[in-house]
């Protein structure tokens, strides 16, 4: 019998914080262009996140060493998909694609997750799930095209677009792996192990970027603060919240909340980059929330509670 999950206030907070911090990550990434190479940013992000995490999880990791040895393949796979691949590929994609293209491709994550669930995890897909995905993606489309959907006709697939498609595809697998493979570890301990594996996977590519391609980091206060943000908030806190929310609600519902990121990005851009908020932002937000509402109705084991 399926367990009954409650989407209460605490779970809603867990679902909302990750897209908020990831939107901040996009703003920080835009500010850091030209100051730090993409793979270096990805490596430093997870290396320092791992150092901070170990301050809290070193002893639990030691006590869980038997589970870690037994589940090392699953943890390495999650570290590869969710830590190394998605973030590194996103930073690389932004160097050869436009923010509009990347945002649109990222908004397809719910569709990727639905398809991956049906094809590889035997998860049934209902009509309401598809409607929820369509509404949510439409809302993101309104935001990133600034209310002029004719801009879609001007899109052209570049190398970065293809890279971002691969990143979102791999993120879909990561989300299902979180849900389908409980390892007997707390979310924070599991994340620490994933970060360790992910950092190992990123390291040789970041080294090649520096020593082979001649890319270097322009160290300064702004770079240090940027790394601190992406390591602690966009990585540690966001991923702990995301993993806990997936464990509570399943893999599909968090995907719709993930599409709140463009709305938060618009707000943060207004605050930090002095970019205005227009009517299309509000219309796009309404569509995204409508998609979330429809998606919640499609999941009978998830109920709203006050």
C-alpha span between 44 and 63 (Å, rounded):
27
Whole-angstrom CA distances from 237 to 9, 49, 183, 185, 194 are 18, 10, 20, 17, 14
Dist. CA 145–CA 155, nearest whole Å: 11
Domain membership of residue 218 as a residue range: 5-304
The number of distinct structural domains making up the chain is: 1
Low-confidence residues in the chain, pLDDT < 70: 1-6, 97-104, 107-108, 144, 146, 149-158, 180-182, 251-252, 255, 273-277, 295-306
SS3 content of the chain, % helix, strand, coil (to 5): 75, 0, 20
The H-or-E segment that residue 86 falls in is: helix 86-93
The whole-model pTM stands at: 0.77
What pLDDT is recorded for position 17? 92
Tokens 């439409």: give the residue: 138
Q: What is the pLDDT of residue 2?
A: 42
- What are the Cα distances from residue 69, in Å, to 63, 72, 211, 258, 303? 12, 5, 33, 32, 37
**Cβ-contact 201, 84 below 8 angstroms:** yes
Number of H helices, E strands in the chain: 15, 2
Looking at residue 271, what is its pLDDT? 78
Give the span between the Cα atoms of 170 and 162, in whole angstroms. 13
């Amino acid at each position: 019998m399926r367990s009954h999950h409650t989407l209460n206030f605490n779970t809603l907070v867990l679902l909302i914080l990750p897209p908020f911090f990831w939107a901040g990550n996009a703003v920080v990434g835009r500010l850091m262009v030209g100051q730090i190479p993409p793979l270096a940013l990805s490596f430093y992000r997870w290396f320092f996140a791992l150092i901070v995490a170990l301050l809290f999880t070193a002893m639990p990791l030691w006590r869980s060493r038997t589970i870690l040895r037994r589940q090392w393949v699953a943890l390495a796979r999650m570290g590869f998909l969710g830590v190394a691949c998605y973030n590194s590929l996103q930073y690389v994609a932004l160097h050869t694609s436009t923010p509009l293209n990347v945002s649109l491709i990222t908004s397809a994550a719910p569709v990727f997750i639905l398809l991956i669930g049906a094809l590889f995890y035997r998860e049934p897909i209902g009509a309401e799930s598809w409607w929820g995905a369509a509404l949510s993606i439409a809302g993101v489309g309104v935001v990133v095209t600034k209310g002029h959907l004719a801009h879609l006709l001007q899109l052209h697939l570049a190398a970065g677009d293809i890279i971002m498609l691969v990143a979102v595809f791999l993120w879909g697998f990561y989300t299902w792996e979180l849900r389908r493979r409980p390892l007997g570890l707390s979310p924070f301990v599991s994340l620490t192990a994933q970060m360790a594996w992910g950092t190992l996977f990123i390291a040789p590519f970041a080294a090649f970027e520096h020593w082979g391609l001649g890319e270097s980091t322009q160290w300064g206060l702004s770079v240090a603060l940027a790394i601190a943000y992406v390591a602690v908030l966009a990585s540690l806190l966001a991923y702990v919240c995301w993993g806990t929310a997936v464990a509570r609600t399943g893999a599909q519902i968090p995907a719709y909340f993930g599409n709140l990121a463009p709305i938060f990005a618009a707000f943060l851009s207004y605050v930090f980059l002095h970019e205005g908020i227009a009517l299309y932002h509000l219309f796009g937000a309404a569509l995204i929330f409508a998609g979330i509402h429809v998606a919640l109705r499609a999941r009978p084991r998830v109920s709203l509670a006050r």
